[in-house]
């Protein structure tokens, strides 16, 4: 039980842990910042995008970072919050067949990709190639309100932050409150998995 683990033990455990994050958009950037604040020792973040003005309504970037490589900007932001976190970033596009490439030695993996097709391909490939590493994914981040519809679905080594009734981001808005809620739900699951019940 966490209650019996004292603060120092929790701090030490998190410091020794590493988390892989696939994607540095709304889910990934916010989850990464939360985990850095919590004191995770090492983060491995992969994304190929650049910061755009339209990202600022939900992603953890600033106006003066527009045009910058996302993973580099995110690393800068994390370092300003907690310089002791080892932040390993790759400005690369994850592709089918090598989704596991950067995540072989982490303790937990967060799926923080955008399109349903890539999200599915990532989860399936990781579960197949790295069956011992827990994967946390999110589905249904678009829209606003309806926080109470969000649940955690636990299926073997896959944990899904899930809203079955949400619309696709192709048909609904993406905005900070719900995106950050689910990003932090993912980060919170990471802590639960690392520290136990």
Partner 1 sequence: MSIEVNGKEVKWVEDETVKELLKRVKYSFPLVVVKINDKVIPRSDFSKVIVPDNSKIAVVHMISGG
Q: Give the Cα separation of 150 and 184 in Å (integer).
A: 12
Q: Considering beta carbons, is residue 14 or 160 the nearer one to partner 1?
A: 160
- Least Cβ distance, residue 191 to partner 1 (angstroms): 20
Q: Considering beta carbons, is residue 134 or 140 the nearer one to partner 1?
A: 140
Torsion of CA 48, 50, 51, 53, to 10 degrees: -130
Based on the shown chain and the rule CB under 8 A, indicate whether residue 116 belongs to the binding site for partner 1: yes
Q: Considering beta carbons, is residue 1 or 155 the nearer one to partner 1?
A: 155
- For partner 1, the binding residues in 14-33 under the rule CB under 8 A are 23, 25-28
Q: Give the Cα separation of 26 and 57 in Å (integer).
A: 9
Contact between 131 and 109 under an 8 Å Cβ cutoff? The reply is no
Contact map string, positions 85 to 114, toward partner 1, x by CB under 8 A: ---------------------------xxx
- Least Cβ distance, residue 160 to partner 1 (angstroms): 6
Q: Considering beta carbons, is residue 44 or 135 the nearer one to partner 1?
A: 135
Based on the shown chain and the rule CB under 8 A, indicate whether residue 124 belongs to the binding site for partner 1: yes
Contact map string, positions 136 to 175, toward partner 1, x by CB under 8 A: -xxxxxx----------x-xx-x-x-xxx-xxxxx-x-x-
Contact between 162 and 132 under an 8 Å Cβ cutoff? The reply is no
Question: Of 144, 136, 180, 133, nearest to 162 (Cα)?
Answer: 136
Q: Considering beta carbons, is residue 144 or 196 the nearer one to partner 1?
A: 144
- Least Cβ distance, residue 83 to partner 1 (angstroms): 27
Based on the shown chain and the rule CB under 8 A, indicate whether residue 2 belongs to the binding site for partner 1: no
Q: Give the Cα separation of 136 and 113 in Å (integer).
A: 11
Contact between 164 and 194 under an 8 Å Cβ cutoff? The reply is no
H or E stretch at 35: helix 26-38
139-170 burial string, b = 16+ CB within 10 Å, else e?
bbbbbeeeeeebeeeeeebbbbbbbeebeebe
Chain positions contacting partner 1, by CB under 8 A: 23, 25-28, 112-117, 119-120, 123-124, 137-142, 153, 155-156, 158, 160, 162-164, 166-170, 172, 174, 179
């Amino acid at each position: 039980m966490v209650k019996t683990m004292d603060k120092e033990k929790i701090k030490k455990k998190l410091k020794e842990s590493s988390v892989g994050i696939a994607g540095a958009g709304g889910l990934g950037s916010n989850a990464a910042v939360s985990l850095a604040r919590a004191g995770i020792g090492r983060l491995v973040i992969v994304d190929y995008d650049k910061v755009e003005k339209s990202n600022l309504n939900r992603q953890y970037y600033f106006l003066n970072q527009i045009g910058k490589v996302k993973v580099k900007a995110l690393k800068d932001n994390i370092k300003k919050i907690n310089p002791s976190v080892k932040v390993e970033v790759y400005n690369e596009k994850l592709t089918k067949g090598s989704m596991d490439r950067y995540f072989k030695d982490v303790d937990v993996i967060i799926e923080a990709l955008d399109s349903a097709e890539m999200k599915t391909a990532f989860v399936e490939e990781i579960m197949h190639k790295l069956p011992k590493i827990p994967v946390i994914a999110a589905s249904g981040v678009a829209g606003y309100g309806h926080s109470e519809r969000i649940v955690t679905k636990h299926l073997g080594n896959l944990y899904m932050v899930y809203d079955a009734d949400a619309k696709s981001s192709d048909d609904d808005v993406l905005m900070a409150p719900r995106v950050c809620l689910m990003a932090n739900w993912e980060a919170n699951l990471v802590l639960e998995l690392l520290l136990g019940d």
